[in-house]
Amino acid sequence: MKRFILILLPMVFLFFISANAEKAGLFGDNSSPAPDFTAKDLKGREISLSKYSGKVVFLNFWATWCGPCKAEIPDFIEAYEKYKDKGMEIIGISVDKISPKSVLKFVEKYKINYPVIMSTNKIQKDYEPGPYVPTTIIVDQKGKIRHRHIGYMDKETLKDYFMELIEEK
């Protein structure tokens, strides 16, 4: 047991350091092109990343069973309401292995006001959100991936990412 903890502890430490370093932009220019995708949202509307050109897009990978995901949803709802007319878009990408109908019930219960799609193998391959949820990938107005935020995101951090990118034009 002691040996297991000695192995696990450095791995956890390394994870937190790399997550914070990436958030702080310490890994250099993080601006690769965001792959386009088209998918139907839970209400049957077609969603394409390319339709959001000129906006800052938050691709929020989440799941209905995830505690931190549930905790950040109210902040995402509030931020979207406040900043959608200023160029913010949020696309929730459910990684659940349950039916879209069940995810829709969850979305309605939590009153999520931004589009939600089910993740696909292609989206997973293209964006590589990793095994942790929530993970939010932030795409700038030029269609470049600028940030990858692993874990819970509060409304101040969401706002900071948005304000940083929207001011670039």
The predicted model gives 26-42 an average pLDDT of 80
- Which residue in 69, 73, 150, 165 is the catalytic one? 69
Inform me whether the pLDDT recorded for 142 exceeds 90: yes
The predicted model gives 42-53 an average pLDDT of 96
- Specify whether 69 is catalytic: yes
Contact 127, 35 (CB under 8 A): yes
Q: How confident is the model at residue 17 (pLDDT cuts 50, 70, 90)?
A: very low
**Residue of 152, 146, 113, 108 lying closest to 132 (CA atoms):** 152
* pLDDT tens per residue across span 88-133: 999 999 999 999 999 999 999 999 999 999 999 999 999 999 999 9
As a whole number, the mean pLDDT across the chain is: 87
Evaluate if pTM is beyond 0.85.
no
Q: What is the pLDDT of residue 113?
A: 97
Q: What is the pLDDT of residue 30?
A: 53
Beta bridge partners of 60: 92, 136
Query: What separation in angstroms does the CA of 2 have from each of 7, 8, 113?
Result: 9, 10, 47
* pLDDT tens per residue across span 59-68: 999 999 999 9
Q: Find the farthest-apart pair of alpha carbons in the chain and give their distance in angstroms, rounded.
A: 54
Q: What is the pLDDT of residue 31?
A: 81
Phi, psi of 18, deg, nearest 5? -70, -35
Structure tokens belonging to residue 72: 């950040």
Alpha helix stretches (DSSP H) within the chain:
2-23, 67-83, 100-110, 121-127, 155-166
d(CA 51, CA 8): 43
**List of residues 6+ apart from 71 with CB closer than 8 A:** 152
